[in-house]
Amino acid sequence: MAVITFLGAGSVVFTRELLADILSFAELRDVTLSLHDIDPGRLATAEAIARRTAEQLGASPKIRTSLDRRTSLGGATYVINAIQVGMYAATVHDFEIPARYGLRQTIGDTLGVGGIFRALRTFPVLKGIAEDMREICPDAWLLNYTNPMAMNIGYLAAVAPELKAVGLCHSVYWTVRGLCEVIGVPFDAVSYRAAGLNHQAWLMHWTRDGEDLYPLLDAAIAKDPELRRRVRVDMYRSLGYYPTETSEHSSEYVPWYLHHDEEVARLRIPVGDYLRISRENVEEYERVRDGLKAGEPLPIDRDATEYAPQVIHSIETGTMRRIHANVRNTGLVTNLPRDYAVEVPCVVDEQGVRPEYVGDLPIQCAALNRSFASVGELTVKAAVTGDPRLVRLAAQVDPNAAATLTVDAIWALCDELTAAHGELIADELRVPVRR
């Protein structure tokens, strides 16, 4: 029976959702769950969640825990990565320091200086995970949820191309569900296909019984002025394809919005919102922990919508599914950088996760994706080569930073963030550099 290792199991809300979905499948009710976290308190809470979830669902998994990653990887068939290096304190640095320079961010976990430095904190741990998996469980599937997704999958493609690494994100799924609600068409009745980069893919195909549904969206937008106050709708109206991540996210991947006060107001952009979200995540962890200690029942959502449980179930049972996932670009999207990560449709069955060929994206979509990818490529190259200048250049070509700050300010900001994150950044990237 499958052994599923959770790295970063202390991300308790997320772990709770994954466990509920996994154990809701009849064929997975007696899997081995191997939980790992570097925080003993969070690991204990994760174990309590696993045992309570199994009890409430009537499942009988074998549950083991370890503070040692290598022990947790023993015998793994699947490795779910949900680590957050630096936790809330690092997120505060990623927002408060850029804000002093006048740089606005909303989420800061994917692109921009926040995404760059989250990646630089994560890469050393990813490298260790890859090295351990090569030795301990080389045939296991690495199912990554950790952001920045594209940078992390791009980095793994560079340092461990032999690993079966797949990045999982529900942005395409939830985008289509939301759009179906806008036009009043049941989600189960539609066919859809998207491609691009994680958090900036494009809805290329969206139909019901062969009917293109974009005209219905156009009509809804024309009738509702409040819809036109969304960043994604604004982007769609000029680009012709709907982007597959929230307006909060999308606003900081382009140079058009965040440094214009009037656009922030018009499009209701919640600057700095991820700090609130992160605080709420900490509070939710504390509520779950305290509730478990008090013997309260665990709220369980059995929708089985998360991708990792579906992937595991499909590989274990041969049940075919189609999902959108993030993989190395081996020529799948022909006008995006080869060997960097792309988000494409994939078939999942007993053979594993098999990405589908897309070809060229529309030229305007590829143009935006290439500027997005350039930031990630430079960040990955900085980590692989140990060149701290490339960190500054990654920030310098970032669309939001480039539209807001001078070059000198960008370099000074990178210096300050590097110092603030300290030993979480690889030694060679903490060497001072001058222009």
Predicted pLDDT of residue 81: 97
The sign of the dihedral angle between the CA atoms of 388, 391, 397, 403 is: negative
Q: Is it true that the peptide bond before 432 is cis, omega within 30 degrees of 0?
A: no
Give pLDDT tens digits for 142-177. 999 999 999 999 999 999 999 999 999 999 999 999
Distance CA 368, CA 242 (A): 13
Q: Residue 25's Cα: distance from chain center in Å?
A: 24
Predicted pLDDT of residue 404: 97
Distance CA 41, CA 23 (A): 24
- Residue 147 DSSP label: S
Strands 32-36 and 3-7: parallel
Predicted pLDDT of residue 12: 74
- In a structure prediction context, what are the per-residue pLDDT tens digits for the chain, which is 435 residues long? 899 999 998 777 778 889 999 999 999 999 999 999 999 999 999 999 999 999 999 999 999 999 999 999 999 999 999 999 999 999 999 999 999 999 999 999 999 999 999 999 999 999 999 999 999 999 999 999 999 999 999 999 999 999 999 999 999 999 999 999 999 999 999 999 999 999 999 999 999 999 999 999 999 999 999 999 999 999 999 999 999 999 999 999 999 999 999 999 999 999 998 889 888 888 888 888 888 788 888 777 766 678 999 999 999 999 999 999 999 999 999 999 999 999 999 999 999 999 999 999 999 999 999 999 999 999 999 999 999 999 999 999 999 999 999 999 999 999 999 999 999 999 999 999 988
Predicted pLDDT of residue 267: 96
Q: Where are the domains of the chain?
A: 90-107+169-271+318-430
Q: Domain spanning 90-107+169-271+318-430 has what CATH number?
A: 3.90.110.10
Predicted pLDDT of residue 285: 82
- Residue 301 DSSP label: -
pTM: 0.96
Query: Residue 32, SS3?
Result: strand
Distance CA 2, CA 137 (A): 12
Phi-psi region of 268 (alpha: psi -120 to 50; beta: other; left: phi over 0): left
- Residue 333 DSSP label: B
Distance CA 399, CA 150 (A): 16
Catalytic residue positions, numbered:
170
Token reading at 374 = 């350039």
For 393, phi then psi, to 5°, come to -70, -35
- Closest of 50, 20, 57 to residue 36, by C-alpha: 50
Give pLDDT tens digits for 320-352. 999 999 999 999 999 999 999 999 999 999 999
Query: Residue 186, SS3?
Result: coil
Predicted pLDDT of residue 50: 93
Q: Residue 104's Cα: distance from chain center in Å?
A: 21
- Closest of 236, 243, 230 to residue 201, by C-alpha: 243
Predicted pLDDT of residue 224: 96
